[in-house]
Structure 1
Amino acid sequence: MLKTVLVKDVRMGMYICALKGAWIDHPYWRTNFVLNDQTELQKLQQSRVNEVVIDVQQGLDVAPAEITPALNSENTETPENAISPRQLTSQSQQVPFEIEQAQAAKIIASSRREIASMFSDVRMGRTIAVDSVLPIVEEIAASVARNMHALVSLVRLKTIDDCVYMHSIAVCALMTALARALGLSEDEVKQAGLAGLMHDVGKAEIPLEILNKPGALTEKEFGVVRHHPRLGHQLLTAAGITDQVTLDVCLHHHEKVDGSGYPDKLHAEQISLFAKMGAVCDVYDAVTSTRAYKHAWEPGIALKRMASWEGHFDMDIFKAFVRGMGIYPVGTVVILKSGRLAVVVRQTAESLLTPVVKVFFSTRSKLQIPVEEVDLSKDQDEITGNESAETWGLGNVDHLWAIPT
């Protein structure tokens, strides 16, 4: 049972599963832990956090004399843009996809404004204020922990005008998801998220006429773009950012394990774990997003093609990425044994091969059919391969699974 309590009533032995308020106001990188250190309790009491959410099934409750109706989670009101305490996750719980998708849409909208402002400041010669982006990392990481697929799938939906900003948010989300899939610590998850958010900051110093060019870049123009890792590294250093993971991912997310990447042509053993993670996340979001010069690849098709690129990625890391995303990520269009086209709307716990889909078109009659949700883990129909809605002249089918961001 989850319960919201005042910080003054927190005591040793409580299981903390959320801290109310902005991440920058509290002293922890993590949530979901048993409070068993007096020093940590003092840090919490001295912070600007007023309330926390505890799980009384995994730790101590408030002392009986201190319980009041106003603090019971069933009576606690939450802001419009917040997940209620009853929906927050413990280590073994997940928020349903549809619920988290609504929260993720709000997080994406607010994060986009902050990142756009940061890029604008850099173009005007102002120093990056890293404190302003740390709360973004916290909110994105928390959303991914509640339900990885909600925010990660929504952030793929970009316009050509905001693809640079949204790409930073997407890579942040993908990095935190991959860090969890790899079993990294909570601190490392947040480090990965911050590195993902800042990895492309160097593009703020690339001329907009090159970044937004509708056609293929010339060799000279591509040479300019290839400078963005070093430019980003210089900007972060000038801002006083000393986190080595953030600096390294910014500088080396375009390295390849066969040594053909840039800017330093590092080989596999020379590339850090986080930079290898950044390479996978950066490419996946790039190829599954519509750009001025190309259409987006279907997510499932993207994973299949990326798996075939010899010498590009660390394959152990890439396999962990696929396990986290699913072989058929949310938004993937597939063809079923029945001849129907469907779009993946949720993953199931049973198998990566049996997601929940919405069928919408018959390839045999070449007609649209009533949209129906089918859980393939409980149905005799099955996926036979990836498809493209455009191949069948159906256009965009994102409305079948995504809410507006």
Structure 2
Amino acid sequence: MSYQEVKIADLQPGSYVVQVLRQNGDIIVKHAGWVRTAQAVAQLRQKGVLVVLTDPDKQLLQKAPVEQAAEKAAEPTPDVTSRALFSDEQPKAERALVQVQKVQRQMLDAVRSNNNIDLTLVYEVSAGLAESISRNQDVLLCLSRIAEQSDALLQHSINCAVFMAAFARYLNLPPHKIQSLITAALLHDIGKAITPDNLQAEDHAAIPASLTALSKTTNLAGDISLWISQHCAHLDGSGSPKISAGQIDKGSRMLAIVNYYEKLSSGQHSKQGPLAASRSLLERTPHQLDSELAQLFIKCIGIYPPGSVVKLSSGKLALVLENNPKKPTLPKVKVFYHSSHQHHIPSKIIDLSRQQEEQVDSCVELKKYGLDVRNYF
């Protein structure tokens, strides 16, 4: 049976919603799923949804409450959110990023001085990142990518936290789990701050120092230390510690992907562009990294992530502002420079998915042109 258009007034609990077709608002359904209750239908109506696309073959039959609860836990429900405009979210995301930079710097300084860490502040900024991502993830992804810190450890941990916030949100995880994963991303390399030798050490070699530093805190959730301890493990057992797929938690697998990708795509660690970084990430699957999660992560942040610079088919350079999940090779960009003519051009925002003249030719490193990406955001 084919999909059916259903007016919101006719939508029944148990329907499987695939897509919002018409609305008064700006609702995004990131994950198809069942609308199980009358309250869920009412929520869609309140947010301005007029018509949805449903799959009649997946209509749920009314079941006992215990069965309904079990299915609700096992199956994703539609992730319905109002997406904030880029310009509206920008000042809020900037404040969240400044705050996390401040707290992360304090935390690293505390570890270097052998003082205890105040995780209350870490949890607060983790919640702030999660809230910004929930409104519009592309803004924070863009800001963190173009930011430059003199402290490489500081920048790596913050970038990982922003990636993790977007990734966990994309997977539709519960809010408390998202916040814990962001915190783990901020803390996973904390032991490297203790000595210069640790700073240069391989990631797995610094894990004991990180766990020792975190053991001095009184309110560290157990799952956070577990994810940190396992984030250098490989599914085939070749990593550290020497455990294999069945023993590696999902959160640890996510942290491994985020950590590896950030190192590949960060200007301070690698010369690879985001496209090459995604390819390298996939090359590590399925033996070292989780293949399904790696593919979902790339879908989440995009082939050309916000904050990256691309050269268009015309030779114009453009800053990627927003990812396009449905057409990942056609993001929304802001052009500002012509690489062939070597001069600036009037900046203009272009949605590549809504025109046919331009397409992405390649990713570029803007410093090769003597330009600073922060001047064009």
TM-score, L = length of structure 2 = 0.71
Counterpart in the other structure of 2:186: 197
**CA distance in structure 1 between the partners assigned to 2:297 and 2:227 by the alignment:** 17
Q: In structure 2, do the counterparts of structure 1 residues 56 and 110 end up closer, same or farther at CA, with 3 Å as the change threshold?
A: farther
Structure-2 separation of matches of 1:383 and 1:307: 24
- Once the two structures are superposed, the pairs formed by residues 337-356 of structure 1 within 5 Å of their partners are 337-348=313-324, 350-356=326-332
TM-superposition CA deviations, 1:18-74 (whole Å, max 9, x none)? xxxxxxxxxxxxxxxx9x9xxxxxxxxxxxxxxxxx99947xxxxxxxxxxxxxxxx
Say if 2:245 is the partner of 1:257. no
The correspondence of residues 222-241 of structure 1 with structure 2, limited to 5 A, is: 222=201, 226-241=204-219
| Secondary structure at 2:251 match in 1 | helix
Q: CA deviation at 1:140?
A: 0.9
Letter in 1 for 2:212: Q
Which residue number in structure 2 is paired with residue 387 of structure 1?
363
Q: Contact 2:164/2:182 (CA < 8 Å) preserved in 1?
A: yes
Q: How does 1:180-191 map to 2 (within 5 A)?
A: 180-191=169-180
Q: What number of residue pairs does the alignment pair up?
A: 305
Tell me the CA shift for residue 278 of structure 1: 0.3
- Find the counterpart in structure 2 of residue 358 from structure 1: 334
Greater helix content: 2
User: Is the 2:145–2:308 contact (alpha carbons within 8 Å) kept by the matching residues of 1?
Assistant: no
- What percentage of residue pairs aligned between the two structures are identical? 26
Q: How does 1:2-401 map to 2 (within 5 A)?
A: 57=46, 91-205=80-194, 207-208=195-196, 211=199, 222=201, 226-262=204-240, 264-291=241-268, 294=269, 297-310=272-285, 311-348=287-324, 350-363=326-339, 365=341, 368-390=344-366, 393-401=369-377
Q: Distance in 2 between matches of 1:301 and 1:240?
A: 41
User: Which SS does the other structure have where 2:314 is aligned?
Assistant: coil
* Residues 354 and 382 in structure 1, CA contact (< 8 A), matched pair in contact too: no
**Does structure 2 retain, via aligned residues, the 8 Å contact 1:158–1:290?**
no
Specify the code of the residue in structure 2 equivalent to 1:299: P
CA shift at 1:347, angstroms? 2.8
The alpha-carbon deviation at position 239 of structure 1 amounts to 1.7
Q: CA deviation at 1:368?
A: 4.5
Amino acid at match of 1:143: S
Q: Once the 2 structures are TM-superposed, how far is the Cα of residue 303 of structure 1 from its aligned partner?
A: 2.0
Contact 1:170/1:285 (CA < 8 Å) preserved in 2? yes
**Contact 1:96 / 1:147 at 8 angstroms: preserved in 2?**
yes
Q: CA deviation at 1:329?
A: 0.8
Once residues 98 and 312 of structure 1 are traced to their aligned partners in structure 2, the CA distance between those partners, rounded to angstroms, is 39
Q: CA deviation at 1:156?
A: 2.5
Cα contact 1:155–1:170 (8 A) shared by 2: yes
Segment of structure 1 superposing worse, 376-385 or 361-370: 361-370
Question: Relative to structure 1, is the Cα distance of residues 256 and 97 closer, same or farther in structure 2, using a 3 angstrom cutoff?
Answer: farther
Shift of 1:316: 0.8
Instruction: Name segments (4+ residues, structure 1) moved above 6 Å.
Output: none
Contact between 2:319 and 2:333, CA under 8 Å: does it hold in 1? yes
Q: Is the Cα–Cα contact under 8 Å of residues 144 and 159 in structure 2 kept in the other structure? A: yes
Q: Please tell me the residue identity of whatever aligns with 2:244.
A: H
TM-aligned CA deviation for residue 382 of structure 1: 4.1
Confirm or deny: 8 A CA contact 2:334 2:348 kept in the other structure.
Answer: yes
Please give the per-residue CA displacement for 1:325-357, whole angstroms capped at 9, x wherever unaligned. 112111222233334333212234652222111
AA at the equivalent of 1:222? A
- The CA deviation at 1:229 is 1.0
Asked whether the 8 Å contact 1:342–1:357 carries over to 2, the reply is yes
Secondary structure of 2:117's partner? coil
1:307 to 1:168, Cα distance in 2 relative to 1, 3 A: same
The root-mean-square deviation of aligned C-alpha atoms, in Å, is 3.0
Name the SS for the 2:131 alignment partner: helix
Q: Structure 1: any 5+ residue segments left out of the alignment?
A: 1-33, 37-53, 59-89, 212-220
Deviation at 1:136, TM superposition (A): 0.8
Greater percentage in strand: 2
Matching residue's letter, 1:334: V
The amino acid of 1:268's aligned partner reads A
Deviation at 1:138, TM superposition (A): 1.0
State the Cα distance separating 1:96 from its structure 2 match.
1.2
Contact 1:254 1:261 in 2 (8 A): yes
Q: Which residue of 1 aligns with 2:16?
A: none
Name the structure 2 match of 1:6.
none
Contact 1:331/1:398 (<8 A) preserved: no
- Cα shift at 1:246: 0.5
1:115 aligned partner, one-letter code: Q
Question: Are the equivalent residues in 1 in contact too, given 2:311–2:364 (CA < 8 A)?
Answer: no
Superposition deviation, residue 104 in structure 1: 1.4
Corresponding residue of 1:217? none
The equivalent residue for 1:62 is none
Distance 2:112 2:370 in 1: 40
